[in-house]
Amino acid sequence: MVKAETCDVLVPAECEIIIEGYVSADKSVAEGPFGEFPGYLSNQSSLKPLAKITCVTFRDEAILPICIPGVPIDSTLMLGCFCLSATARVYFEKSGLPIIDCFSPLEASSHWLVIRVRDDWHKITGMTVKAFIDKIAEVFWTNHIGKTTAKLIIVGEDIPPDDSNKVTWALATRNNPVQGVFHYPQYDSDGTGLQIYLDVATKLRGRGGLVAYSCLQIQQQVNQPLEQVLSFATNYPLPLQEKIKSKWSEWGFDR
């Protein structure tokens, strides 16, 4: 530790950069507008306490770690989305619900959490679709991790949460816009709080706008066979698949 240049405090000698100064107790200046990780620049500024910088010292070739937010995917989202996903999975595992895994797609700027559940969830829990989705929502939005995301997407076993193409396909083709959408105004969260679509009342309350999209079967279809997926990998004999792939480049296509 060494003494600072203009302040009567000790600072670590190995610091890359040391910024000295003080924050005014009675003076404010306009700050902003700022951009944030959803990918938008605010149109507003606000008054904040004035900071007076008295000295800046730094090592030779000092390193200043910084992330500049913008339209996804960018560096500000990487750590946040992975930490959100890992922490949420811990809570789901503790809940005992038949949840396989979850992931916050980088393309969605931390606004979605995709949750993959076992196809036999009804056999395991005996719950209705609504009761099952309600329980998932309760686990997520009653823990501190629920302050991070306002939209949950629940998918079956065949949809990897980190495959955004398949998640998009599932949401578009499996979610019933009436029977598969569930709202949760009772929980004390509004997601990140940085969504540009939030109204003033929701921002002031700090709660609202929470929704879960079920891409599972609707209640009427529960216990019926799942729809068969139509794809090259599942609907063509393996020898034919191998023959086609072996000639792919010969036909002028990339593998």
3-state secondary structure 50-80: EEEEEEEEECCCCCCCCCCCCCCCCHHHHHH
Contacts of 59-63 with C-beta under 8 Å, sequence gap 24+, read: 59/15, 59/16, 59/17, 62/16, 62/17, 63/16
| 255 pLDDT higher than 70 | no
| 15 pLDDT higher than 70 | yes
Average pLDDT over residues 193-216: 92
Helix locations, the chain, DSSP H:
75-95, 121-125, 129-141, 164-174, 200-205, 232-235, 238-246
**What pLDDT does 67 receive?**
82
Average pLDDT over residues 171-183: 98
Q: Cis bond leading into 69, ω under 30°? A: no
Q: Closest Cα to residue 145, out of 177, 172, 110?
A: 110
pLDDT in tens, 18-39: 999 999 999 999 998 888 889 9
Average pLDDT over residues 90-117: 96
Confidence of residue 107 (pLDDT cuts 50, 70, 90): very high
Entry pTM: 0.85
Structure tokens at 168: 């998009």
**Domains of the chain, first to last:** 2-58 (no CATH), 79-233 (3.40.1670.10)
Separation between Cα atoms, residue 216 and residue 157, nearest integer Å? 10
**What pLDDT does 167 receive?**
98
Percent of the chain at pLDDT > 70 equals 100
**What pLDDT does 18 receive?**
95
Separation between Cα atoms, residue 186 and residue 158, nearest integer Å? 31
Confidence of residue 79 (pLDDT cuts 50, 70, 90): confident
Separation between Cα atoms, residue 18 and residue 87, nearest integer Å? 33
Mean of all residue pLDDT scores within the chain: 93
**What pLDDT does 206 receive?**
87
| 254 pLDDT higher than 80 | no
